[in-house]
Structure 1
Amino acid sequence: MQVEKQNLYTKVIELLNRARQNVVQTINNTMAMTYFEIGKMIVEEEQDGKEKAEYGKQILRELSERLVSEFGKGFSETNLKQMRYFYLTYSIRQTVSDEFENNEILETSPKTSDSIQQTMPAQFKLTWSHYLKLMRITDVNERNFYEIEAIKNNWSLRELQRQFDSALYTRLALSKNKEEVLSLGQKGQIIEKSKDLIKDPYVLEFLGLPEQNFYSESELEQKLIDKLEHFLLELGNGFTFVARQKRITFEERHFKIDLVFYNRILKCFVLIDLKIGELKHQDIGQMQMYVNYFDREVKLEDENKTIGIILCQDKSESVVRYTLPENNEQIFASKYLTVLPSEKDFIKIIEN
């Protein structure tokens, strides 16, 4: 009987939490759609004006005064300008790509009034604050990418800001051809093969470690475990944590793999080794051994080949290229940064 009661409590709590989330989502959708409609009305009124520039200022000033007196300070001239820009930015396209919207959004979107539905190019799934941030991204493909990823991964505004500051779009785009880069802006990050998981560099500024290597590999590992939720977000879609310092033994010799994850999308283990300083060819050989062991002794028949990622402070591309086979699809070496670079520094890192 006690177990039945506990099951009932759990089910009721889950139901209430889902209902709460749905209410919040509905409010966010309605706010964004309403602001879009206000922006549309302002633009259409301006287009009808004879002296557009001055007429536009007058419209915003008078409308703001009326709305502030009735609804409060959320309708200042500045906010109305943002709503106007919101419409101008999003009216020329759907909020996300056709494929993503049709498959992911319209099926779950709450119903809205006919007047708004007829003028809206698509449903909005993020908060107004998210869209204020997205509107400041001038490149359309990049803006689309962050919008799709924020929706898919339920990013908070803070996480959206962090992913943008860490140049996630640029880091993913570096290893892709033109068609694949375009796809980022249409579908977001799609993981179909091992290389799709990899970023270079990884940005670990959330650890609070100094830029210099005044810390040990064990301290770096402990920090990553302490901030595991943040690290999983940086790793990307589909990762679950399996183990740290995973011991493997053969011929009475013991080895320890720093971190073991599993990627549910690719259905494979992902091994991560942490290195302070410059990557050596011996480090790559060690990871090759770990990957081979997992492939032969741990993975199941229906699982895909193990992926190994070596995170290092510095690396020689030549050492990596000549140590690994030409058709390598399992072992990758990426730099990691423990501080968030300035935009100027990021450009240098990417160019190098």
Structure 2
Amino acid sequence: MELKRDSHIYDEIKSLLENARKKVLSTVNSTMTMTYFLIGKNIVEEEQNGESRAEYGKELIKNLAVQLTEEFGKGFTIRNLELIRKFYMTYSQDEKTKSVISFSENPFKLSWTHYIRLVRIQNIEERRFYEIEAEKENWTVREMERQISSCLYERLVLSRDKEEVKSLAMKGQIVEKPKDIIKDPYILEFLGLHEMSNYSENILETAIISHIEKFIMELGKGFLFQGRQVRFTFDEEHFFVDLVFYNRILKCFVIIDLKIGKLKHQDIGQMQMYVNYYDRFIKLPDENKTIGIIICKDKNDTLVEITLPENNEQIFASRYMTILPSKEELAKIVEEEREKNEN
């Protein structure tokens, strides 16, 4: 009997094979990473032998590069062996790898290319955060690089106290309350709008829709896209919400209003009305309160604080940037925001 290509059994078998391939690839990557860790361990122990011998270390790596390349081919240049050594030196300090001596104890879940990028991060807490998130969210190296370049860790640290910052390094980003999904600023360099000297809110919105997958990734965990220019009506007057999402972790609607200029108190009042409408007429009884995010080019934090209730947990205002600034520039922005919050 000839099976149709779109039959359910074909789809099930195809899924099994694709998952098997991914698992094999993941196992190979993990095994190679562990191999490099143990190679690095051997190099460092041979170098030191009880004391630091820098010149001997250089000669050792040089000789190993020649011998290993002759035996195993490409992949063991002096540069690569130095990276392997650095990888071991970096990760041998972590609690989970201090006592690792065999493949049966492999703690490395990412590819070697992921770790080449991670070892460049000097801050231990920051490095652990990206490692955890890359594994949990199945980030490609390119996706992880983008998150590092946009200072995701620093932006999340900004709105957290010391205990929550410590938790980021131990568990990654945990979404439990509305504030956990908020970033300030949002980095939207993927829209390509920095090349335009002038653009409207409609152009900004259209660009986001054209790059909706990247925008959802920037928003963070658990977001599902619901619609654009979603209309609701009362007293024969129509209102339109720019973007509507649903967060499956927080179990609530997240509505977004886009402003290309400086935030005004009228914008906050409008968002308050949108949130109230969704809470009273759209959300189900078992769903949590709606979250409103105004993403604007600029804002006055004092204006936002005065306009919103003291115990506000529903409406947030964040800036956006259409270029990817340097890590130093973003770190400066984060530090300025932290100082504002402390004063």
TM-score by length of 2: 0.92
In structure 2, give the amino acid aligned to 1:273. Answer: D
CA displacement at 1:92 relative to structure 2:
1.7
Quote the residue 2:341 is aligned against. Answer: none
Is the 2:151–2:331 Cα contact (8 Å) retained in structure 1? no
Q: Please state whether the residue corresponding to 1:210 is helix, strand or coil.
A: helix
The answer to whether structure 1 residue 248 and structure 2 residue 239 are counterparts is: no
Is the 1:211–1:337 Cα contact (8 Å) retained in structure 2? no
CA displacement at 1:71 relative to structure 2:
1.2
Quote the residue 1:100 is aligned against. Answer: none
CA displacement at 1:346 relative to structure 2:
2.0
Quote the residue 1:111 is aligned against. Answer: none
Quote the residue 1:309 is aligned against. Answer: 293
CA displacement at 1:147 relative to structure 2:
0.6
Quote the residue 1:192 is aligned against. Answer: 176
Q: CA RMSD in A?
A: 2.0
CA displacement at 1:47 relative to structure 2:
2.5
Paired residues for 1:47-196 under 5 Å:
47-48=48-49, 52-94=53-95, 116-117=102-103, 120=105, 122-196=106-180
CA displacement at 1:43 relative to structure 2:
1.2
Distance 1:346 1:160, change over 3 A: same
Quote the residue 1:223 is aligned against. Answer: 207
Quote the residue 1:102 is aligned against. Answer: none
The answer to whether structure 1 residue 279 and structure 2 residue 280 are counterparts is: no
Is the 1:95–1:124 Cα contact (8 Å) retained in structure 2? no
Q: For residues 76-96 of structure 1, what are the alpha-carbon distances to aligned partners after superposition, in whole Å with 9 as ceiling and x for unaligned?
A: 111111111111111121469
| Structure 2 unpaired stretches of 5+ | 338-343
Q: C-alpha separation between the residues in 2 aligned to 1:197 and 1:283?
A: 21
Q: Please state whether the residue corresponding to 1:149 is helix, strand or coil.
A: helix
Is the 1:49–1:55 Cα contact (8 Å) retained in structure 2? no
Q: C-alpha separation between the residues in 2 aligned to 1:332 and 1:31?
A: 45
Is the 2:38–2:101 Cα contact (8 Å) retained in structure 1? no
Q: C-alpha separation between the residues in 2 aligned to 1:320 and 1:311?
A: 13
CA displacement at 1:347 relative to structure 2:
3.5
CA displacement at 1:116 relative to structure 2:
1.9
- Identity fraction in percent: 59
CA displacement at 1:50 relative to structure 2:
7.1
Is the 2:242–2:258 Cα contact (8 Å) retained in structure 1? yes
Is the 1:213–1:277 Cα contact (8 Å) retained in structure 2? no
Q: Please state whether the residue corresponding to 2:67 is helix, strand or coil.
A: helix
Moved over 6 A (4+): 1-5
CA displacement at 1:5 relative to structure 2:
6.2
In structure 1, give the amino acid aligned to 2:279. Answer: D
CA displacement at 1:117 relative to structure 2:
3.3
In structure 1, give the amino acid aligned to 2:217. Answer: L
Q: For residues 260-305 of structure 1, what are the alpha-carbon distances to aligned partners after superposition, in whole Å with 9 as ceiling and x for unaligned?
A: 1011110000000101100011111111111111111111111100
CA displacement at 1:36 relative to structure 2:
0.4
Q: For residues 180-209 of structure 1, what are the alpha-carbon distances to aligned partners after superposition, in whole Å with 9 as ceiling and x for unaligned?
A: 111111111111100000000000000010
Distance 1:4 1:137, change over 3 A: closer
Q: How many residues align?
A: 333
Q: C-alpha separation between the residues in 2 aligned to 1:68 and 1:15?
A: 37
